[in-house]
Amino acid sequence: MKIGFIGFGKMAQAIWLGIVSSKLLTTDNAFFYDVNQENTAFVKSKFDLESLDLLPLLDHCDYVFICVKPQNIDALINQIKHSNALKNTCFVSILAGIPISTFKNGLGPIDIIRIMPNTPAMVNEGMSVLCTEHLVRPEKAKFIENVFKSFGKVEILPEDLIDIVTAISGSGPAFFYKICQDIVEMGVKKGLKKSTAIRLAAQTMKGAAEMLLSGNLSQANEPADPVQLIKQVTSPGGTTLAGLNAYIDMNTSDGIQKTIEGAYNRSIELKTKGT
């Protein structure tokens, strides 16, 4: 089994590092192409970066990950649409805002899977959402599902939900980092060393996430309800309640939901404008 990457920026690198750490594949089974040579400097199997001819990569690979910038997708489709390898290659797109139909319209009846991953794949804690459609052969869809399960969790959802998925889990790590940054800054103001404040906040976020994912005892395989976990932590007249009251008074919930909505709207813009 051989895979290829067209475009090898941060998200593609996160996917590859997840694959390597899971020992699913090695660089002997992978090929990489990026116009920026620095992006592929740490891998050994790559095509001539001075050439814009991607057809040899398609000939070599069973699966090809499309990881270019969304605004470059039309140029890429024009570049590869005459390849004889299209019918034998399964494409995996991680592009925000680019629907499966774009590939179908440009390349014909190919196997194409759409994935929305996130960067915690680098540490085997990725959250990926997989969208397929009826022309993908089941064994190929299953292989890609297993690839992403090797470094995190996978949900299979219809493509019409991908924009909100992008906002929540695709962009979500940055939003959690921003919340952590704000918590850390307050810790430093109150006398903590920055490194200590980061550890306190990060481990608390990690532990809280595990509590959510540990499940609802009354519903197997379902996550816990945040509302119930908030009640567990909150005592009448306690510090948690005082903090939550300030959270409500500052309308923080509205700010966080607007953050998600901003990312969601941008995903829709990418789809409708292609820029």
DSSP 171-185: SHHHHHHHHHHHHHH
* pLDDT at position 131 over 60: yes
Lowest mean pLDDT among 76-90, 189-203, 224-238: 76-90
Q: Name residue 4's beta-bridge partners.
A: 31, 64
- Note down the domain range covering 119: 3-159
- Quote the percentage of the chain above a pLDDT of 70: 89
Q: Between 165 and 121, whose confidence is greater?
A: 165
Domain-terminating residue out of 126, 159, 192: 159
pLDDT digits (tens, 9 = 90+) for 21-64: 777 777 777 888 877 766 655 565 554 434 446 777 888 889 99
Total domain count, the chain: 2
**What is the pLDDT at residue 49?**
39
Q: What is the pTM of this model?
A: 0.85
Q: Which of 9-18, 51-60, 89-98 has the highest mean pLDDT?
A: 89-98
* pLDDT at position 241 over 70: yes
Region class of 238: left (phi > 0), else alpha (psi between -120 and 50), else beta: beta
**What is the pLDDT at residue 39?**
62
Q: What are phi and psi of 32, to 5 degrees?
A: -135, 140
Q: Are residues 155 and 244 in the same domain?
A: no
Q: Are residues 99 and 189 in the same domain?
A: no
Q: Are residues 72 and 150 in the same domain?
A: yes
End-to-end C-alpha distance for the chain, whole angstroms: 34
**What is the pLDDT at residue 28?**
77
Query: At 81, which CATH number?
Result: 3.40.50.720
Sheet of 126-131: strands edge to edge?
A: 30-33, 3-6, 63-66, 90-93, 111-116, 126-131, 152-156
DSSP-derived letter for residue 120 is G
Q: Which of 25-29, 141-145, 191-195, 214-218 has the highest mean pLDDT?
A: 191-195
Q: Are residues 155 and 178 in the same domain?
A: no
Q: Rounded to whole angstroms, how far apart are CA atoms 158 and 132?
A: 8
Query: At 187, which CATH number?
Result: 1.10.3730.10
Q: What is the 3-state secondary structure (H, E, C) of 67-107?
A: CCCHHHHHHHHHHHCCCCCHHHCEEEECCCCCCHHHHHHHH
The average confidence (pLDDT) of the chain is 87
- Cα distances from 177 to residues 120, 168, 205, 213, in angstroms, run 12, 13, 10, 19
**What is the pLDDT at residue 217?**
59
Tokens of 7: 């475009």
Q: Give the residue-averaged pLDDT of 192-201.
A: 98
Largest CA distance in the chain: 70
Lowest mean pLDDT among 15-24, 112-121, 124-133: 15-24
Q: Are residues 127 and 61 in the same domain?
A: yes
**What is the pLDDT at residue 92?**
95
Three-state secondary structure call for residue 39? helix
**What is the pLDDT at residue 112?**
92
Q: Give the residue-averaged pLDDT of 211-236.
A: 85
